[in-house]
Structure formats: structure tokens, C-alpha cells
Amino acid sequence: METDTKRKPLLSDSFGGTVEKEIPEDVVWIDDAFYIKKTRFGLFTSILKKPLGQHFLTGAVEDAVIRMSRWHLKCLQDGTLSDYTKVINSGVVGGKL
């Protein structure tokens, strides 16, 4: 009998290294969870309320970023994100560079 040792994804697994330092007072919080900011390159980034200011997802179309941010957060809440994701390569380079 095989046991499922697959680790469940956490919200923090989706974070990059960027945290918004100044959040405008007039932002519109979507689902009381995140807001959308247009970047200087014309892309759209979702920024989380908890942890405050954490950059989440980025894309070229604002509506797509909203939809995928909602979907991603719902899957994390339901515990089903691992059903839709797979790590092919960890991105770690072995050896001395």
C-alpha cells in the first residue's frame, strides 16, 4: 500500500521576494483579500492584504490576474491546488558556478 506523502502547497510558496512598502489609502480591495496594481511596465500585479503588501500574481491582462488570483486563493483554501500543479524542476543549480 502506497502512502501519499505529497506536500500540500502553502500560500507562502507562491510568493516572490517583493513586498509593497506603501499601500494607497484609496485602493479597492477585491474580495477583501487583494488589490491590483499596474506596474511601470504595463503589467498587472495582485497584492495581498494578508500578509500585507505581498506581491502575488502578475500578468498582462488585469481581468486575468483578478480571475487567477481568486482561483489560486480558493484552491489554497480548499486544499486542491496540488491537484492542478506539478513541480518539474526545483530551479536549484547544483555545483559551483
pTM for this predicted structure: 0.77
Output the tens digit of pLDDT for each of the chain's 97 residues. Answer: 455 567 777 788 777 778 888 899 999 999 999 999 999 999 999 999 998 999 999 999 999 999 999 999 999 889 888 888 877 776 777 777 6
Q: Which spans in 1-97 are helix H?
A: 62-78
Residue 72: Cβ within 10 Å count:
20
CA distance 74 to 14: 13
